[in-house]
Amino acid sequence: MPTAEAVQKEWEFEPLEAQEWPDATPQVAGWDEAATEITVKLSVSVGVHAPSRSEKLKAEFERAREILKLKDDWDGEGSVGYSTETLDRAILFVSTHASKLWESFGLAAPIPTIGPGPDGSIDVHWKLPAWELLVNIPQNSDAMATFYGDDYGAQKIRGSFDPRRFNSGVAEWLIR
């Protein structure tokens, strides 16, 4: 299983100047067919501008704070509650990757759903039409985060990494 460190060594960044992508709304008038196709592809893979994404991300972080209301046995089945520290690590993981992708490449990461995971851990889950990725942030701050993603087909990504550090393998998956 590749660790984050192993993946990072394989994929080095060359920082690029951030640049804005075209508006997600296709500008069909006056465009030829090829240009329209390119615009649609960009809209699907990149989505709307980062400022709009930023607001949505902020809203998701706010919603995720509901998790902190879940105390031990919150589901009546003996599940343990969640700590602020674990949630903060989950939020830091998401915001670090979203910021780095925007600042380095001008690419806006999709918005995940942050939810309760097993044993006091927190799940960060992206489910898109073309791919899915689940990152689990453990309750133990010294433990590695684990992740699995696939494109509903043959391409898969899995492993573990320190969620306090930028992981290029996960980041690459987020901008597929």
**Which residue among 24, 36, 104, 123 contacts other proteins (CB under 8 A)?**
123
Would you state the structure tokens that stand for residue 119, as one six-digit string? Answer: 């044993």
Q: Which residue do the tokens 């660790």 mark?
A: 3
**Would you count residue 71 as binding other proteins (CB under 8 A)?**
no
**Which residue among 146, 151, 175, 176 contacts other proteins (CB under 8 A)?**
146
Instruction: Enumerate residues 6+ apart whose C-beta is below 8 A from 68.
Output: 82, 83, 84, 87
Nearest C-alpha neighbor of 57 from the set 174, 158, 148 = 174
**Would you count residue 2 as binding other proteins (CB under 8 A)?**
no
Contacting range for other proteins; rule: CB under 8 A; set: 9-17, 27-35, 41-49, 71-79:
71-79
Site string for other proteins, 40-69 (x = CB under 8 A): --------------------x--xx-xx--
Give CA–CA dist 34/148, Å, rounded: 35
C-beta of residue 90 within 8 angstroms of C-beta of residue 103:
no
Q: Which residues bind other proteins (CB under 8 A)?
A: 1, 60, 63-64, 66-67, 70, 74-79, 113-119, 123, 125, 127, 132, 134-136, 144, 146-150, 158-160
